Amino acid sequence: MAPPTAPVPERRPKKLEAHGDIRVDDWYWLADRDDPAVLEHLRAENDYTEAVLAPLSGLRAELFDEIVARIEETDLSVPVRKGPWWYYQRTEEGANYAVHCRRPVEDDDPPLGAGREGEVVLLDENALSSGHDFFAVGVLSVSPDHRWLAYGTDTTGAERYTLHIIDLEGDEIVAETVPDVYYGLSWANDNATVFYVRTDDAMRPFQLWRHRIGTEPSADTLVLEETDERFTLSTGRTKDGLFVVIALQSTLTSEVWTIPAGSPGDEPACLAPRREGIEYTADHHRGDGDEGWWVQLTNEDAVDFRLLAAADGDTGAGRWREILAHRPGTRLDDVDVFDRFVVLAERLEGEASLRIAPLDVGPDPFGDDLFERSWLLEPGEHPATTWEGANAESEARLVRYERTSLVTPRTVLDLDVATSKSVVRKRQPVLGGYAAKDYSTKRLWATAEDGTAVPLSIVHRRDLLGPDGVTLAAPAPTLLYGYGAYEHSVDPVFSSLRLSLLERGFVFAIAHVRGGGELGRRWYEDGKFAAKPHTFGDFIAAARHLVAEGFTTPAQLAGRGGSAGGLLIGAVANLAPELFAALVAEVPFVDALTTMLDTSLPLTVGEWEEWGDPASDPEIYAAMRAYAPYDNVRATDASGAPLRYPRLLVTAGLNDVRVGYWEPAKWVAKLRSANPENEVLLRTELGAGHGGPSGRYDAWKDEALVYAFLLDALGVVTTSA
């Protein structure tokens, strides 16, 4: 039988010019989703991918069965207390989506287990998803009096939701629904008013609206609109429930507005006016008397952020005082203000950590320096990840937090701040006899070309180690993962799915490259704008380090990344194709220059503070021109010989509003055109968006496909050891 033939989209050259530079894009037309030839081509690509991967169908099925067999399909989250109720969600075997529930509070210990006694089902996503290929809940919030449930649904993956409100006492959907809402919703304390967010035509959340239960959506009131296209709008409530918060945020600048939750008709008030380059978030402490306190996490005079406080009504310029000083190199990520203590999320030596700071009793709860009386929740292993869990009540004496590592399954704990003692509430079940002692994890450091030390987190089976107990007995197939943008940190967390690779002798590694937030704000800033190439160089340095230290060889090494991490994979494919046997680029941002020049596309203007504005800045244009994967596909190597890229699996989402489906589609066409010998596969979700399929079983099938591709590409196609 003849091998499958890759689709060849028609060339329709389009000239693109900026700053005197001319680019010719042969496949620009693929961005026109109204052209019938576009969908025809995407379907042909899907058919081709399935045909090429057909010999792996048995392996894909085997991997999917393994993934499912390790998961407790019928499971229950640890309930979170909110007033007289425990709130939680559960999953059921064979069902794709969660069921949201609550039970009455009987004692201080959360009810664990899958019993149904006293359970009230709030929302069954499985029932709502019936008849839809895609289904997602983007908003889910119970009113302060626990009577009403507001939830938003999306059935296309385009991240535009329809807001519904349920009367939990009568289980009746209120007649009016509110169309076209976005993430974020806040209840007022009258239990009748909700604030919701809307987007503009470019999918930028820019408006806050007020809706009152029992009124038509046409009567809703526009509360605040952000006209600066660099800024996005979000909403929430302060921990103590006294204020609705409206956060306006660009990549570099913040502004917070507030509305008393008890007076939802009031005009919003600005907490601290925006100043270019100053970022801040705010929470509120109700205080012991009439006076409350605002707490502000800010980067003003503090690259890695510090903490300020000001009394209610006394928050003008110069009225804020420092309560936690800047600690250079230790990034203060977040603050959660309880009545009797503060929880601080920080990055200590590249790891996500939690710090607890008890508050004073009296008129000044914060004192002069929170750090002096604070203490760190030690993880007990490195590298590890610790983060705050769901904590709904400011008056709580316990703090819910979670912890994991590359070998330790996700663990949910409750900390008694008064005694500093933690109780394990649940450890992620891993069926099939998993034992953490059978695996080894460690932190490595690679050296980039400019001398910068780049951290890696790795995991592998312990029996792969040689006699010295440090290095591997022999090089192993390895998957290197990276992201490196938006100050987003890729933390070392456990994945039961990943065991299908580890059991087959894989090494899994995360390259904590610049552009992420692992090592503080400077780490992020050194991987953006014209410094973006540092992100790619760090990943290449990590790959070379793994080879040099005997963990793997280029013939056994694969790379993976998604979205901005897909840009990383695309750039690395151009810069160092010889280092990898295979690459996986999921919804990759590979046509970065063209997208950042097109202000008609969703999110472009707001993204300029991350990538730069190539339309007005020639330096940024030149930098992006030099690294954008689509513009730098190579046909030949340095000697002039035809260049063979690693085997590539590329994914896209037709309804993706973050990375247009046409970016990966164009890139794949150009890679094949550069060299017909390039083995490139494109798989487009025709009914989903940026996050891929919505159901958990469908997502596991996708992961099985990726694993099968990797096992085949690296020559590891045997069953698990």
pLDDT confidence band for 720 (50 / 70 / 90)? very low
**Which of the four pLDDT bands, split at 50, 70 and 90, describes residue 172?**
low
Average pLDDT over residues 357-371: 88
Q: How far, in Å, are 570, 648, 677 from residue 581 at the CA level? A: 14, 9, 14
**Assessment of whether the complete model's pTM goes beyond 0.85:** yes
Give the residue ranges of DSSP H helices in 212-341.
none
Question: Which residue's entry shows tokens 């891929």?
Answer: 692
The answer, yes or no, to whether residue 174 has pLDDT greater than 70, is no
Beta-strand (E) ranges in 143-220?
148-154, 161-167, 172-173, 178-181, 185-187, 193-199, 205-212
Q: Give the CA distances from residue 34 to residues 11, 37, 40, in Å, rounded to whole numbers and listed in that order.
A: 17, 9, 11
pLDDT for 368 equals: 77
Helices (H), 598-661: 604-611, 618-627
What is the average pLDDT across 562-591?
98
Residue 53 has pLDDT above 50, yes or no: yes
Whole-number Å distance between alpha carbons of 308 and 322: 4
H/E segment holding residue 541? helix 533-548
* pLDDT for the residue 416: 97
pLDDT of residue 721: 37
Rounded average pLDDT over 183-193: 98
Q: What is the pLDDT of residue 511?
A: 98
Tens-place pLDDT, residues 431-481: 999 999 999 999 999 999 999 999 999 999 999 999 999 899 999 999 999
Q: In whole angstroms, what is the distance from residue 590 CA to residue 667 CA?
A: 7
CA-to-CA separations, 464 to 149, 255, 445, 721, in angstroms, rounded: 51, 52, 20, 12
Q: Chain-centre distance of CA 461, in angstroms?
A: 27
Residue closest to 644 by CA, chosen among 555, 721, 551, 560: 555
Average pLDDT, the chain: 95
93-114 residue pLDDT tens: 999 999 999 999 998 889 887 5
Q: Would you say residue 719 has pLDDT above 90?
A: no
Per the listing, tokens 């979205």 go with: 563
Active site residues: 563, 656, 690
Q: What is the pLDDT of residues 494-540, one digit of tens each?
A: 999 999 999 999 999 999 999 999 999 999 999 999 999 999 999 99
Q: For position 718, what pLDDT does the model report?
A: 55
Quote the pLDDT of residue 130: 95
Q: Are 579 and 540 contacting, i.e. CB atoms less than 8 angstroms apart?
A: yes
- Residue from 443, 428, 425 nearest 497 by CA: 428
Cα-trace Rg, the chain = 26
- Cα separation, 137 vs 183, in Å, equals 9
Identify the band that residue 54 occupies on the pLDDT scale cut at 50, 70 and 90: very high
Please write the tens of the pLDDT for every residue from 110-139.
Answer: 988 756 788 999 999 999 999 999 999 999
Residue 531 DSSP class: G
Residue 554, SS3 per DSSP: helix
- The verdict on whether omega for the bond into residue 383 sits within 30 degrees of 0, i.e. cis, is yes
Q: Which one, of 214, 225, 145, 152, lies nearest residue 183 by Cα?
A: 152
Residue 371 token pair: 């750090």
Coil, helix or strand for 187?
Answer: strand
Whether 109 and 79 have beta carbons less than 8 Å apart is answered as no
What is the per-residue DSSP string for 351-389? EEEEEEEEPPSSS-SS-S-GGGG-EE---SSSSEEEEE-
- 333 contacts: CB under 8 Å, gap ≥ 6: 305, 345, 346, 347, 352, 517
Confidence tier at 717 by pLDDT (50, 70, 90): confident
Burial class (CB in 10 A: 0-12, 13-18, 19+), 181: buried
Distance CA 479, CA 176 (A): 50
Q: What is the pLDDT of residue 173?
A: 60
- Two tokens, residue 380: 């007990």
Strand partners, 508: 459, 479
How many residues make up the chain in this entry? 721
Give the pLDDT mean for 545-549. 98
- Predicted local confidence at residue 429, as pLDDT: 96
**CA 144 – CA 85 distance, rounded (Å):** 11
497 DSSP 8-state letter:
T
Residues 301-308 have a mean pLDDT of 97
Distance between CA atoms of residues 576 and 543, nearest Å: 10
What is the rounded distance in angstroms from the CA atom of residue 59 to the CA atom of residue 50?
A: 13
Distance CA 650, CA 652 (A): 7
Helices (H), 32-124: 36-53, 57-69
Distances (CA, A) of 491 to 65, 178, 515, 527, 558: 27, 37, 14, 17, 19
User: Who contacts 677 (Cβ-Cβ below 8 Å, separation ≥6)?
Assistant: 642, 644
Q: How far is CA 330 from CA 322, 454, 639, in A?
A: 17, 16, 46
Q: For the purposes of burial, counting CB atoms within 10 Å of the CB of 202, is it exposed (0-12), middle (13-18) or buried (19 or more)? A: middle
Strand partners, 247: 234, 256
Burial of 618 (0-12, 13-18, 19+ CB in 10 A): middle
The values of phi and psi at residue 555, to 5°, are: -70, -10
Compute the CA torsion angle 49, 51, 57, 59 (nearest 10 deg): -60
Residue 682 pLDDT more than 80? yes
Helix (H) or strand (E) holding 537: helix 533-548
Which residue in this structure is represented by tokens 């085949």? 712
Per residue in 9-20, pLDDT (tens digit) is 999 999 999 999
CA–CA gap between residue 144 and residue 82 (Å, rounded): 9
In whole angstroms, give the CA distance from residue 603 to residue 25.
22
What are the tens digits of pLDDT across the range 191-227?
Answer: 999 999 999 998 999 999 999 999 999 999 999 999 9
Q: Residue 171 above 60 pLDDT? A: no
Give all domains of the chain, ordered by start, each with its CATH number. 14-68+433-713 (3.40.50.1820), 299-428 (2.130.10.120)
**Residue environment code for 111-128, b if the CB has 16+ CB neighbours within 10 A, otherwise e:** beeeeeeebeebbbbbeb
Percent of the chain with pLDDT over 90: 91
